[in-house]
């Protein structure tokens, strides 16, 4: 049995550069010598039937209660979980654009009395837990200057401020449990990419050396 792959998640506010960095990271890992087997994922995955519903909601073509859309975002991760586990177990590193942290941050940020912080975490409890969460920070002024900002449902200054607050709480609550690394994403694409690659190579090496079990998110126990 080969050692399992590492599971790395890129999180952060809108337009911090997650998708740009994920693509650079995948290329640099797969073109290294020897190449690191790597697979990229992103959430929401808009290509599945559940993802199609999420896409309609984000594009404001469909409306839904805050609770219902939250559960769909979570289902979209659970439907991907078996393949994610299999990929990690066969020794491939998975790099993922957004995960359950975005799920909690965006719904809890709405401050709707029926979906508070703890309720929001519930549906994602037990998913495969990342070995590393890279949290890309971006200042409000930089965020608003970047391409296409303002086109989708959650892209308002007020909601984004509230999302920032929930991400800070998630990071603080996970302190010591799983490494979050904060990366200043106001800098150039190249500078951000350098820091990300360094952190990912480090965790990759550790996971390959120690071959730890795949832990469960916000829960005891492991998937093995």
Which of 6, 7, 9, 73: binder of ligand Z5A (CB under 6 A)? Answer: 73
Side-chain-side CA neighbours of residue 8 (13 Å): 31
Give yes or no for a contact between 21 and 10, defined as CB atoms under 8 angstroms apart.
Answer: yes
Work out what residue 154 binds among Mg ion, ligand Z5A, none; the CB cut-off runs from 5 to 8 Å by kind: ligand Z5A
DSSP state letter for 116: -
User: What's the closest the beta carbon of residue 187 comes to ligand Z5A, in angstroms?
Assistant: 6
For the chain, counts of helices (H) and of strands (E): 9, 5
Q: Where are the beta strands (DSSP E) in the chain?
A: 7-12, 38-42, 93-97, 132-137, 180-184
Interface ranges with Mg ion (CB under 5 A) = 18-19
- Of 22 and 29, nearer to ligand Z5A (C-beta) is 22
Which of 4, 6, 8, 43: binder of ligand Z5A (CB under 6 A)? Answer: 43
Give yes or no for a contact between 50 and 28, defined as CB atoms under 8 angstroms apart.
Answer: no
Binding status of residue 147 toward ligand Z5A by CB under 6 A:
yes
Q: 134 pairs with which residues across the strands?
A: 10, 181
* 150-179 residues labelled b (16+ CB within 10 A) or e (exposed): eeeeebeeebbebbbebbeebeeebeeeeb
Only one residue has tokens 């859309």, namely 69
Which of 4, 15, 121, 129: binder of ligand Z5A (CB under 6 A)? Answer: 15
Question: x/- binding map, residues 102-131, to ligand Z5A, per CB under 6 A?
Answer: xx--x-------------------------
Question: For ligand Z5A, which stretch binds (CB under 6 A), given 98-106, 112-120, 200-208, 211-219?
Answer: 98-106
For 193-211, what is the HEC assignment?
Answer: HHHHHHHHHHHHHHHHHHC
- Of 186 and 202, nearer to ligand Z5A (C-beta) is 186
- Of 4 and 18, nearer to Mg ion (C-beta) is 18
Q: Between residue 192 and residue 211, which ones bind ligand Z5A under the rule CB under 6 A?
A: 192
Footprint on this chain of ligand Z5A (rule: CB under 6 A):
14-20, 43-44, 58, 73, 98, 102-103, 106, 146-147, 152, 154-155, 185, 188-189, 192
């Amino acid at each position: 049995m080969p050692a399992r792959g590492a599971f790395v998640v890129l999180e952060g506010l809108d337009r911090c550069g997650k998708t740009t960095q994920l693509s650079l990271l995948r290329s640099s890992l797969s073109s290294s010598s020897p190449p690191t087997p790597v697979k990229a994922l992103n959430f929401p995955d808009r290509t599945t039937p559940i993802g199609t519903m999420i896409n309609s909601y984000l594009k404001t073509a469909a409306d839904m209660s805050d609770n219902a859309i939250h559960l769909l975002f979570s289902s979209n991760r659970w439907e991907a979980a078996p393949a994610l586990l299999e990929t990690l177990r066969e020794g491939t590193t998975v790099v993922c654009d957004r995960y359950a942290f975005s799920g909690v941050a965006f719904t809890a940020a709405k401050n709707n009395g029926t979906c508070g912080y703890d309720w929001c975490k519930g549906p994602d409890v037990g998913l495969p837990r990342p070995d590393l969460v890279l949290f890309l920070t971006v200042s409000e002024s930089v965020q608003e200057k970047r391409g296409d900002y303002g086109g989708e449902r959650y892209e308002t200054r007020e909601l984004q401020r509230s999302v920032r607050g929930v991400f800070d709480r998630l990071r603080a609550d996970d302190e010591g449990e799983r490494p979050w690394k904060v990366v200043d994403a106001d800098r150039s694409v190249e500078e951000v990419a350098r820091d990300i690659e360094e952190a990912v190579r480090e965790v990759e090496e550790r996971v390959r050396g120690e071959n730890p079990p795949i832990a469960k998110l916000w829960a005891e126990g492991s998937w093995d």
